[in-house]
């Protein structure tokens, strides 16, 4: 199952990750950011329905000067707003951005542009071209915008952000992904069984978080 998920991710397909029955108990759709198109955003908006987020590792984000939103809020005196969600983890949110060439930022083609250019920035960091990445990031993006950036803490947190990044690391693809929660028409989390049917129709796969964690442990990516 895990090998199929990695192959699908390498090919730029949408895959699905269930975190845990004991955590959020949600399934997120996941795709490589460099494979995002306006039609992918349209599909996510219509068929997933959650918050469409860009994901990278916290170590990569730090090289761009990014910080967690919780830390930013503390620094400006909003300590009272910084609380942990019910499932117990510190949020992975950093800032929200738009690309400078977007119209409003929220339209499908706008978010696709923002996401694919963010993927280009992350690739530069991954290739060791940090100064060029920082220049591109500061020149081509503005905040606040409509694409939230999530910073994953691999091995320290085990939400969809980190699970998707662990899978990407094992698949040897860049740490630049897009995730979105799969929600039902009544706004609740879509069950794994229903998501499995959606995945099957797409020629894709649903993978459980424990499988990713188990494989990441085996490969020495994390130690739990």
Contacts with 3 (C-beta within 8 Å, 6 or more apart), sequence order: none
Q: What H or E segment, with its residue span, contains residue 120? A: helix 108-126
Q: Specify burial of residue 139 (Cβ count, 10 A radius: 0-12, 13-18, 19+).
A: exposed
pTM value is 0.95
User: What is the CB neighbour count within 10 angstroms for residue 219?
Assistant: 11
What pLDDT, on a 0 to 100 scale, did the predictor assign at position 86? 78
Q: For residue 65, give the DSSP letter.
A: T
Superfamily of domain 32-188: DHBP synthase (3.90.870.10)
What pLDDT, on a 0 to 100 scale, did the predictor assign at position 143? 98
Burial 184-210 (b: 16+ CB within 10 A, else e): eeeeebbebeebbebbeebebbbbbbe
Give the residue from 166, 170, 111 showing the smallest Cα distance to 141.
Answer: 111
Question: φ, ψ for residue 128 (rounded to 5)?
Answer: 85, 10
* Per-residue tens of pLDDT for the chain, all 224 residues: 899 999 999 999 999 999 877 787 899 999 999 999 999 999 999 999 999 999 999 999 999 999 999 999 999 999 899 988 877 778 999 999 999 999 999 999 999 999 999 999 999 999 999 999 999 999 999 999 999 999 999 999 999 999 999 999 999 999 999 999 999 999 999 999 999 999 999 999 999 999 999 999 999 999 86
Alpha-helical segments (H) within 64-106: 69-75
What pLDDT, on a 0 to 100 scale, did the predictor assign at position 20? 76
Question: φ, ψ for residue 117 (rounded to 5)?
Answer: -75, -35
Q: For residue 86, give the DSSP letter.
A: T
DSSP characters over 137-160: HHHHEEEEEEEEEEEE-BTTB-SH
């Amino acid at each position: 199952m895990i090998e199929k998920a990695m192959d699908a991710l390498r090919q730029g397909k949408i895959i699905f990750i269930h975190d845990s029955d004991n955590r959020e108990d949600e399934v997120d759709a996941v795709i490589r950011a460099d494979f995002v198109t306006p039609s992918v955003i349209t599909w996510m908006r219509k068929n997933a329905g959650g918050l469409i987020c860009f994901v990278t590792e916290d170590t990569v984000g730090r090289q761009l000067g990014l910080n967690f939103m919780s830390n930013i809020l503390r620094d400006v005196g909003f300590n009272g707003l910084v609380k942990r969600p019910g499932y117990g983890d510190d949020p992975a949110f950093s800032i929200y951005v738009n690309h400078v060439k977007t119209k409003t930022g929220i339209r499908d083609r706008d978010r696709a542009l923002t996401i694919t250019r963010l993927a280009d920035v992350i690739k530069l960091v991954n290739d060791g071209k940090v100064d060029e990445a920082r220049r591109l990031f500061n020149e081509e993006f503005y905040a606040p915008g409509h694409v939230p950036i999530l910073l994953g803490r691999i091995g320290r947190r085990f939400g969809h952000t980190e699970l998707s990044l662990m899978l990407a690391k094992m698949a040897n693809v860049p740490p630049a992904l897009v995730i979105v929660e799969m929600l039902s028409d009544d706004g609740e989390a879509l069950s794994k069984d229903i998501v499995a049917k959606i995945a099957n129709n797409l020629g894709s796969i649903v993978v459980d978080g424990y499988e990713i964690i188990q494989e990441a442990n085996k490969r020495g990516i994390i130690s739990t």
